[in-house]
Amino acid sequence: MKYVDEFRDPTAAKELIANIAALAKNLPRTLRFMEVCGGHTHTIYRHGLEYLLPKSVEFIHGPGCPVCVIPAGRVDDAIWLANQPNVIFTTFGDMMRVPGSSGNMLAAKARGADIRFIYSPLDALKIAQDNPTNQIVFFALGFETTAPATAIAIAQAKTGGVKNFSVFCNHVLINPPLRTILDAENVQIDGFIGPGHVATVVGSQHFEFIPTEYQLPIIVTGFEPLDILQSVNMLLTQYVEGRCQVENQYSRVVRKSGNREALRLLEHVFTTRESFEWRGLGAIGNSGYRLADDYGEFDAEVRFELPAAEVKDHPACQCGLVLTGQLKPAECQVFGSGCTPENPIGTCMVSPEGACAAYYTFGRLARPTAD
Amino acid sequence: MNEMKAPEVPLGATDHIPRRSQFNDETITLAHGAGGKASAALIEAVFINAFGAPDVTALTDSAILSVPAGRIGFSTDSYVVNPIRFPGASIGDLAVNGTVNDLAVCGARPLWLSAAFIIEEGFEVAELRQIVADMRIAAERAGVQIVTGDTKVVPRNACDRIFITTAGVGLILPERVLGATRVIEGDKIILSGAIAAHGMAVMIARGNLAINAPISSDSAPINELVEAMYSAVEPGSIRWMRDATRGGLGTVMNELAGDSKWGILLDDEAIPIAEPVRGACEMLGIDPLYVANEGCFVTVVAQENAEQAVAALRAGGATQAGVIGEIVSQLPQVVAIRNGFGGTRLVDTLVGDPLPRIC
């Protein structure tokens, strides 16, 4: 895997760390950079990057883990769907342990629901074609990154006339929660490590509103340790030079205008919901996708009469404060006591890309920082 | 199919010639587990034919074995892997190697195994013969005998094709004493070979991932390597030993840390992982530290003997054996790993099972 090694090269890392330390030397205050993506959070903790940086540079962990932001009510609906007679419910493995109001999908599967893990929406479509007498429902989730794959499956189902396939759509959009966080009180963010995977679809230009409306820099960033270190270096350089711009660190993958084909497909197959409920952040306007009317026959929310009960977040859960960077994972009142990866209360603790789970799994070590 | 034919018996032969039942069946049925003629024919044609040893030709209810005075190791394990055959091994190899290795890492010299089969009706006899042949070859390689066994057949869907349970007995020399409490600060952690191949081989063999990679299970007996190491160093300098099966290296390291008062600091770059395995793990977002192995083990050896122990393992064929970390007094009961550019992270116990039924 030469491709990976290049981005984990110790010599290059040490050079970047030295550069960062030099740039951070005369900062007037601590700078806080939000990594938007759960993938970044995972890399930061997995490679111990936090402790390689000077104290005056802090990471705060953003809302970009699509599993983490699914509210309990949607999990309840998913379990309800899985329990319908004749339904084969398909999902990514990450969702299995996300708690609903009474238990998770893993428990529902153990009680007899036919729930299957898949790796691609097309796997779900294939299950539908192989099991014509069953109803196959796919639990679709993720940002603009994964939505095109769902759109392809839906488009293929329509072309192929697959009548027993539907999608429980939980796809969300990246910009609305970023605005919500930036507009919130008590939030100090000095720049963004921007979501590289989302940007492959939407393009780096999608984030122009951050410098123009909020006067903050954003670096669209890859997911290897060197990517993140270079991104911090670029953010600090902008700060020191008094600039705030969208810059593309992940240029080996991301184009300014994104993937036009994927964007066309999204526009065709999906339409924006008026509002979508986010775990920890509440309802955010225009922040989620549903199937466009032309594809309504494949919408599980149309095909089945979902209970769609609203479920409040657990009262002790502080995921919202973690997701807006107001609390570090370990500062949450239930971190590691009431809420652990074995028995999560909030979704930040469920997915390996959740800030709390990543910190719990990799980070709980007393270590000196670089200075 | 290599069928057992009834021997030609001349007319008037006396009844001391064993009566062999004809066995031409191609599929296992419930009758093969009912204890009657079909059972006897299956046992004789498939199991005795493969495992038969001089002292087990009489089919009594238990094997009768002569054991010298001292300590024995006694271990059992069940094998439910899906699929039953994958690159590098089958459920049969695993069933022998797994139990042999469990004995070896206790310092025991494995001698005898039992094998119990739970078979779903409809299972093909040809496939069963292949699995049994794999077991015979694995047993020969490890120098153990399969001396007793059992067969049950269950209705369709009551099990997934075939489950095998083996138990094993081995002798432990008096000078071999292992345990987490014997580990002290400064001891070296030695790994016998590259990790994560078995789990990834099985996962890819399931065929529901859109990836293909030349990855073979590392399933192999390790008892010879353990013996090579014991003959190279003072037995007391080998403090602790485990095979890193389910849960992988990360999990067994956590078990050691939890059972001792010390911390463990691993060196990321010293842990060998074959390139295709690392690539597959990277693509699937799986940490190779938690992926199962079936042919490597990890041991803690006194600092001053570590080099000799590694040399003995390498001479014994474990060419990638090496020191991967040490026992430290900082971070009590915690496992941490340091990477190439000086970052350190926790290696926690795994939650849940990312790869169910891999052994």
Instruction: Specify whether A253 is located in the same domain as A298.
Output: no
For position B213, what pLDDT does the model report? 85
- The Cβ of residue B233 has, within 10 Å, a number of other Cβ atoms equal to 19
Q: Are B250 and B293 in contact (CB under 8 A)?
A: no
Tell me, yes or no, whether A308 lies in a domain: no
Nearest CA in chain B to A45: B345
The answer, yes or no, to whether residue A2 has pLDDT greater than 80, is no
Q: What domains can you pick out in chain B, each with its CATH number?
A: 30-172 (3.30.1330.10), 180-346 (3.90.650.10)
State chain A's mean pLDDT as an integer: 91
Q: Check A365 against B340: CB less than 8 A apart.
A: no
Instruction: Specify whether A168 is located in the same domain as A99.
Output: yes
For position B297, what pLDDT does the model report? 98
Instruction: Specify whether A226 is located in the same domain as A323.
Output: yes
Sign of dihedral through CA atoms A283, A289, A293, A295? Answer: negative
Which residues in chain B are closer than 8 Å to A13, comparing Cβ atoms?
340-341
Which of the four pLDDT bands, split at 50, 70 and 90, describes residue A358?
A: confident
Rounded to the nearest angstrom, the minimum Cα separation between B215 and chain A is: 14
Tell me, yes or no, whether A26 lies in a domain: yes
Rounded to the nearest angstrom, the minimum Cα separation between A42 and chain B is: 10
For position B8, what pLDDT does the model report? 47
Q: Check B344 against A97: CB less than 8 A apart.
A: no
Q: Residue A297 is part of which domain span? A: 72-173+259-303
| Whole-angstrom distance, CA of residue A209 vs CA of residue A194 | 13
For position A46, what pLDDT does the model report? 85
Closest to B343 (Cβ–Cβ): which among A1, A48, A341?
Answer: A48
> What is the separation, in whole angstroms, between the first and last Cα of chain A?
33
Q: Check A52 against B341: CB less than 8 A apart.
A: yes
Tell me, yes or no, whether A90 lies in a domain: yes
For position A322, what pLDDT does the model report? 86
CATH code of A7's domain: 3.40.50.11750
Closest to A342 (Cβ–Cβ): which among B279, B343, B351?
Answer: B351
The torsion angles phi and psi of A108, rounded to 5 degrees, stand at -60, -40
Which of the four pLDDT bands, split at 50, 70 and 90, describes residue A4?
A: low
Which of the four pLDDT bands, split at 50, 70 and 90, describes residue B5?
A: very low
The torsion angles phi and psi of A216, rounded to 5 degrees, stand at -130, 150
A16: amino acid identity, one letter: L
Q: Check A362 against B341: CB less than 8 A apart.
A: no
Tell me, yes or no, whether A228 lies in a domain: yes
| Whole-angstrom distance, CA of residue B7 vs CA of residue B12 | 14
| Whole-angstrom distance, CA of residue A362 vs CA of residue A366 | 11
CB neighbours of A39 closer than 8 A, spacing ≥ 6?
A: A64, A196, A197, A223, A353
Tell me, yes or no, whether A368 lies in a domain: no
A5: amino acid identity, one letter: D
The answer, yes or no, to whether residue A48 has pLDDT greater than 70, is yes
Instruction: Specify whether A166 is located in the same domain as A197.
Output: no
Angle at B246 between CA B243 and CA B247, to 5 degrees: 100
SS3 B249: helix
Tell me, yes or no, whether A11 lies in a domain: yes
Q: How many residues does chain A have?
A: 371
Q: Report how many Cβ contacts below 8 Å link chain A to chain B.
A: 66
Instruction: Specify whether A271 is located in the same domain as A322.
Output: no
Rounded to the nearest angstrom, the minimum Cα separation between A29 and chain B is: 24
Nearest CA in chain A to B343: A48
Instruction: Specify whether A141 is located in the same domain as A248.
Output: no
The torsion angles phi and psi of B171, rounded to 5 degrees, stand at -95, 140
- The Cβ of residue B203 has, within 10 Å, a number of other Cβ atoms equal to 23
Tell me, yes or no, whether A371 lies in a domain: no
Note which residues in 258-287 of chain B have CB less than 8 A from chain A.
Answer: 275, 278-279, 282, 285
Closest to B279 (Cβ–Cβ): which among A1, A8, A97?
Answer: A1
CA distances from A121 to A263, A337, B225 (A): 18, 36, 46
Which of the four pLDDT bands, split at 50, 70 and 90, describes residue B359?
A: low
CA quadruple B88, B89, B94, B98: dihedral, nearest 10: -20
Give start and end residues of each alpha helix (H) in A25-146.
38-46, 72-82, 105-110, 121-130
CATH code of A264's domain: 3.40.50.11740
The DSSP output letter for A114 is -
pLDDT digits (tens, 9 = 90+) for B174-216: 999 999 999 999 999 999 999 999 999 999 998 777 778 899 9
Rounded to the nearest angstrom, the minimum Cα separation between B68 and chain A is: 46
State chain B's mean pLDDT as an integer: 89
Q: Check B341 against A17: CB less than 8 A apart.
A: yes
Q: Are B191 and B298 in contact (CB under 8 A)?
A: yes
Q: Among A164-178, A265-279, B283-297, which stretch is predicted with the lowest mean pLDDT? A: B283-297
The answer, yes or no, to whether residue A226 has pLDDT greater than 60, is yes
The residue behind tokens 């001391």 is B16
The answer, yes or no, to whether residue B353 has pLDDT greater than 70, is no
The torsion angles phi and psi of B163, rounded to 5 degrees, stand at -120, 140
Instruction: Specify whether A190 is located in the same domain as A295.
Output: no
Q: Which of A339, A362, A371 should one mutate to test binding to chain B, selecting the residue with the greatest count of B CBs within 10 A?
A: A362
The answer, yes or no, to whether residue A62 has pLDDT greater than 90, is no
Query: Which runs of E-coded beta strand occur in B87-230?
Result: 89-90, 108-120, 145-154, 162-172, 188-191
Q: Check B342 against A341: CB less than 8 A apart.
A: no
Which of the four pLDDT bands, split at 50, 70 and 90, describes residue B1?
A: very low
Which residues in chain A are closer than 8 Å to B208, comparing Cβ atoms?
118-119, 123
B342 at A interface, C-beta within 8 A = yes
Q: Check A51 against B343: CB less than 8 A apart.
A: yes
Instruction: Specify whether A96 is located in the same domain as A138.
Output: yes
Q: Which of B203, B284, B351, B353 should one mutate to test binding to chain A, selecting the residue with the greatest count of A CBs within 10 A?
A: B351
Instruction: Specify whether A30 is located in the same domain as A109.
Output: no
SS3 B69: coil
CA B337 remoteness from chain centre: 27
Note which residues in 26-65 of chain B have CB less than 8 A from chain A.
Answer: none
Rounded to the nearest angstrom, the minimum Cα separation between A58 and chain B is: 16
Which of the four pLDDT bands, split at 50, 70 and 90, describes residue B4?
A: very low
Q: Which of A11, A42, A46, A90 should one mutate to test binding to chain B, selecting the residue with the greatest count of B CBs within 10 A?
A: A46
- The Cβ of residue A354 has, within 10 Å, a number of other Cβ atoms equal to 31
Query: In chain A, how many domains are there?
Result: 2
| ipTM summary value | 0.74
Mean pLDDT of A92-119: 89
| Whole-angstrom distance, CA of residue A42 vs CA of residue B56 | 56
Rounded to the nearest angstrom, the minimum Cα separation between B345 and chain A is: 5
pLDDT digits (tens, 9 = 90+) for B299-350: 999 999 999 999 999 999 999 999 999 999 988 999 999 988 778 888 988 7
Rg (CA), chain B: 22
Tell me, yes or no, whether A310 lies in a domain: no
Q: Among candidates B248, B243, B250, B256, which has minimal Cα distance to B332?
A: B256
Instruction: Specify whether A86 is located in the same domain as A162.
Output: yes
| Whole-angstrom distance, CA of residue A300 vs CA of residue A298 | 6
Q: Among candidates A84, A93, A148, which has minimal Cα distance to A122?
A: A148
A275: amino acid identity, one letter: S
Mean pLDDT of B162-185: 96
Nearest CA in chain A to B287: A46
Q: Are A150 and A167 in contact (CB under 8 A)?
A: yes
Instruction: Specify whether A296 is located in the same domain as A236.
Output: no
Which residues in chain B are closer than 8 Å to A361, comparing Cβ atoms?
346, 348
Closest to A10 (Cβ–Cβ): which among B279, B336, B340?
Answer: B340
Q: Check B345 against A45: CB less than 8 A apart.
A: yes
Instruction: Specify whether A43 is located in the same domain as A120.
Output: no
